[in-house]
């Protein structure tokens, strides 16, 4: 039986409903790769100034899409033309490690990763890779899901990818 999402109307659950999966304490203690983010990185995208936690001033007109944040997931809500996002990973596992990418593209989306191999050593602990998402058809759609997995002999580091192909704004999204 399929997993159903809570709430009304009832629907078959998708990755937005059931999250990233089971908790693996051993894997969390030794993840291999991490997606570091500094709280100051949010300022680049939110265009906010925080003054001693007492007041926050934001420039909503200057906001960049959130999918540019270095998060361990990628979600593009309005894929009309090719979009390229970057992610930076830090190796916290074995010093000399090589990770190869495995791509599971969301339905209707072509996904390319460059470079397809990350080589870490004592001098190169941090690498940036680019993910290009391209719609395969011109169709107003719902979210489709895929993943990007970095793997080596002992580790598997997976991030979910969600994309919604759009050809026009939904009225409900802009109203």
Supply the pLDDT for residue 21.
63
Domain boundaries, the chain: 4-11+34-165
Which tens digit of pLDDT belongs to each residue from 55-66?
666 666 556 788
Mean pLDDT of the chain: 85
CA angle, 22 then 79 then 167, to 5°:
135
Q: Distances from the Cα of 119 to the Cαs of 73, 82, 161, in angstroms?
A: 21, 27, 23
| DSSP H helical ranges for the chain | 15-18, 25-29, 39-46, 171-174
Nearest to 68 by CA among 49, 88, 92: 88
d(CA 161, CA 137): 18
Which tens digit of pLDDT belongs to each residue from 83-131?
999 999 999 989 999 999 999 999 999 999 999 999 999 999 999 999 9
Nearest to 83 by CA among 36, 139, 130, 129: 130
Q: What is the 3-state secondary structure (H, E, C) of 83-98?
A: EEEEEEEEECCCCCEE
Q: Which CATH class, in words, describes the domain spanning 4-11+34-165?
A: mainly beta
Has residue 175 got a pLDDT over 60? no
Q: 51: which residues sit within 8 A by CB, 6+ positions away?
A: 57
d(CA 175, CA 173): 6
Nearest to 148 by CA among 175, 173, 115: 115
């Amino acid at each position: 039986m399929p997993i159903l999402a809570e709430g009304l109307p009832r629907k078959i659950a998708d990755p937005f409903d059931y999250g990233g999966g089971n908790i693996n304490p051993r894997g969390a203690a030794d993840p291999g790769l991490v997606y570091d983010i500094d709280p100051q990185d949010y300022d680049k995208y939110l265009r906010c100034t925080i003054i001693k936690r007492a007041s926050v001033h934001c420039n909503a007109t200057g906001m960049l899409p959130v999918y540019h944040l270095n998060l361990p997931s990628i979600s593009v809500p309005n894929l009309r033309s090719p979009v390229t996002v970057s992610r930076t990973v830090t190796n916290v596992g074995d010093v000399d490690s090589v990770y190869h990418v495995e791509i599971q593209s969301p339905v209707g989306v072509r996904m390319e990763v460059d470079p397809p191999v990350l080589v870490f050593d004592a001098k190169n602990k941090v690498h940036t890779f680019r993910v290009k998402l391209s719609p395969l058809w011109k169709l107003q759609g719902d979210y489709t899901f895929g993943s990007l997995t970095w793997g080596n002999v002992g580790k598997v580091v997976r991030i979910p990818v969600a994309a919604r192909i759009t050809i026009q704004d939904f009225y409900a999204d802009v109203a």
